[in-house]
Amino acid sequence: MAPSIRRASDLSSVRSSPKTFTATLARVPLIANDNWFTDFLLPGETDATAAAHETMRQMVRENYFATMEIPFLRGREFTGQDNVHAPAVAVVNQTFQQSYFPNEDILGKRVTFRASKREVEIVGVVADTRYMRQREELRPLLYTPWQQEVAAIGDMSFALRTTGEPTALAAAVRQVVRDLDSNLPVTQLTTQTARAQATLGKERLSARLLSFFGGLALLLAAIGLSGVLAYSVAQRTNEIGIRMALGAQTSHVLRLVIWQGMKLVMLGLAVGAVAGYALTRLLASQYFASSTWQRQLAEQLYDVKGTDPVIFSAVATLLALVALAGCWLPARRAAQVDPLDALRHE
């Protein structure tokens, strides 16, 4: 596989396409529920004395960071000279630096892979990126140049940044690979957007179902509240007629009926908010107590905690508005009652 990959790494044929901006390769495709982990030793540690250290790994071509638009923060990027004859080097992300060298200059530090006993020098730092999926916690990540990882090369992921529709290049990419080596298979050809959406497929389906049933529940609640108030208005038709005959304005009748319904709504919202907050805290403390990072991940909904007061306020406001709409129709009907007809009502 290595000779084929080495030939395929010459992506000039693909880059010559007018729709291709740049092309690169990596061991692990991003946002694809795939990963590669390695245990390593920090400077001065030995297998007998070291604590367990683990980092995610990525094997990349020298233009990987530019192609994937990962900001380079410090040090230098990989070059074509970082091959098997050059000193072994690595680039790490910010989380790696903060986790293992928080108060030190990380450039020039050396770490050793436990399995292979190979030592690499850290020559650069890049920004943090999501690795397996969008909702994961940021973790340490170490990059190495592909030419220094020939023994570990297997399946590789090629990435093309295009100026047009990416899928339009599918046939051209397959032809280029076939021309380079007819025995080199292309197992999957997709876009980064499609891959990102696929990792959120179950969550999107759950969100749509919950939204549908939540909206249905809101509609049923509004219909139910409107029906209860309509019945109450019918029972109080005579009272309303007397009030209007004595000079009550339409606005007074509207406020009377709406307030009658909204008192129950406000009471329900207060009880629901307290019960919801308590239940959320109970579930978080009981179910996720065994794992801190799982608890933090479960509490996050696009960086919003389940007990966020803004979310509680927004939900309460939405429910109040729906209830107000449910109260409005019976109140409007009551305000339009003819006092003479109301006084004759039994």
The answer to whether residue 124 scores a pLDDT higher than 90 is yes
pLDDT at 199: 75
Residue 121 near residue 87, CB atoms below 8 Å: yes
Of the ranges 3-7, 277-281, 334-338, the best mean pLDDT one: 277-281
Residue from 141, 130, 144 nearest 31 by CA: 130
The answer to whether residue 73 scores a pLDDT higher than 50 is yes
Residues 279, 234 share a domain: yes
Tell me the C-alpha distance between 217 and 313, whole Å: 19
217-260: pLDDT as tens digits? 888 877 887 777 777 766 666 676 677 666 777 777 777 777 87
Cα separation values, 338 from 118, 228, 250, 297, 328, Å: 92, 21, 11, 60, 18
pLDDT at 184: 76
**Cα dihedral sign for 311, 312, 315, 321?**
negative
Residue 91 near residue 122, CB atoms below 8 Å: yes
Residues 264, 156 share a domain: no
More confident residue, 10 or 95: 95
Lowest pLDDT segment from 7-21, 101-115, 311-325: 7-21
Mean pLDDT, to the nearest integer, of 169-185? 78
Mean pLDDT, to the nearest integer, of 152-180? 78
Residues 80, 7 share a domain: yes
Mean pLDDT, to the nearest integer, of 82-88? 92
Query: 198, 229, 255: which is the final residue of a domain?
Result: 198
Residues 137, 70 share a domain: yes
51-68: pLDDT as tens digits? 888 999 999 999 999 888
Tell me the C-alpha distance between 142 and 283, whole Å: 35
Helices H / strands E in the chain, number of each:
12, 9
Cα separation values, 206 from 51, 58, 135, 183, Å: 40, 32, 15, 41
130-145: pLDDT as tens digits? 888 877 888 999 999 9
Q: What single-letter amino acid sits at 182? A: S
Residue 280 near residue 307, CB atoms below 8 Å: yes
Query: Against a cut of 0.85, is the pTM above it?
Result: no
Residues 188, 150 share a domain: yes
Residues 124, 258 share a domain: no
The answer to whether residue 49 scores a pLDDT higher than 60 is yes
Provide the pairing of β-strand 119-126 with 89-93: parallel
DSSP designation for 305: B
Residues 6 or more apart from 82 whose CB is under 8 A from it?
62, 89, 145, 147, 148
Side-chain-side CA neighbours of residue 54 (13 Å): 5
Residues 148, 49 share a domain: yes
Enter the tokens of residue 265. 């709504």
Domain count, the chain: 2
Query: 198, 213, 231: which is the final residue of a domain?
Result: 198
Tell me the C-alpha distance between 227 and 330, whole Å: 8
Under the banding of pLDDT at 50, 70 and 90, the label for residue 207 is confident
Residues 111, 19 share a domain: yes
H/E stretch holding 41 reads strand 37-41
pLDDT at 75: 93
Mean pLDDT, to the nearest integer, of 94-108? 92
Query: 198, 227, 243: which is the final residue of a domain?
Result: 198
The answer to whether residue 172 scores a pLDDT higher than 80 is no
| Cα 43 → chain centroid | 35
Backbone angles phi, psi at 311, to 5 degrees: -65, -45
Per-residue exposure over 215-238, b if at least 16 CB sit within 10 Å of its own CB, e if not = eeebeebbeebbebbbeebeebbe
Range of the domain at 222: 201-343
Residues 206, 188 share a domain: no
Residues 321, 212 share a domain: yes
| Percentage, residues of the chain above pLDDT 90 | 21
Q: What single-letter amino acid sits at 18? A: P
pLDDT at 119: 93
More confident residue, 147 or 265: 147
Residues 25, 159 share a domain: yes
Mean pLDDT, to the nearest integer, of 77-95? 93
Residue-averaged pLDDT of the chain: 78
pLDDT at 297: 46
Q: Token match 């019945």: residue?
A: 231
289-333: pLDDT as tens digits? 444 444 444 444 555 565 667 777 787 888 888 777 777 777 777
Residues 213, 177 share a domain: no
pLDDT at 71: 93
More confident residue, 214 or 21: 214
Distance, first Cα to last Cα, the chain: 92
DSSP-derived 3-state class of residue 280:
helix
DSSP designation for 152: G
Q: For residue 273, count CB atoms less than 10 angstroms from its CB and return exposed for 0-12, middle for 13-18, buried for 19 or more.
A: middle
